[in-house]
Structure 1
Amino acid sequence: MEKAAILSLGERVVRRNALILAGAQALVGGAAPVVISIGGLAGAWLLLDDKSLATLPVTGFNLGIALGALPAAALMRAVGRRLGFVSGALVTSTGGLVATLALFGGNFWLFALALLLIGVGGAFTQQYRFAATDGASRTYQPRAIGIVLAGGILAAVIGPQTVRLTDGLFLPVNFAGAFVGVIILGILGAGILTFLRIPDGPEETHPDDAIPARPLSEIVAQPRFLVALLCGVGTYGVMSFVMTGAPLAIVGCGLSQDVAVLGIQWHVLAMFGPSFFTGRLIARFGREVIVATGLLLLAASGGIFMAGLAVWNFWIGLALLGLGWNFGFIGATAMVAETYRPAEKNKTQGAHDFVLFSTVAFASFMSGRTFVAAGWEAMNVVIFPIVTLCLVALVVQSRFAPRTQPRA
Structure 2
Amino acid sequence: MSNVRALAAQTLYQVVDKGASLSAQLPLATAQLEGKDKALLQQICYGVLRYLPSLEHYCQQLLEQPLKGKRRVFQFLLYVGIYQLQHMRVPAHAAVAETVNALQVMNAPGLKSLVNAILRTFQRQQAELEKSTEAIPACHYNHPGWFINKVKAAYPEQWQNILLANQQQAPMWLRVNQAKYSTAEYAQLLDDAEIAYSLNPDFQDGILLDNPVDVKSLPYFLDGACSVQDAAAQLAARLLTPADNENILDACAAPGGKTCHILELADAHVTALDADAERLLRVQQNLARIGLNAQCLQGDAAKPETWWDNTQFDRILLDVPCSATGVIRRHPDIKWLRRAQDIDALAALQHSIINNIWPLLKSGGTLVYATCSVLPQENSAQIQRFLAETPDAQLVPLHDKDTAEQPGLQLLPGVTDGFYYAKLTKL
Q: Which has the higher helix share?
A: 1
| Fold shared by both chains (TM-score > 0.5) | no
TM-score when scaled to structure 1? 0.26
Bigger Cα Rg:
2
Q: Which has the higher strand share?
A: 2
Higher relative contact order (CA 8 A, sep 6+): 1
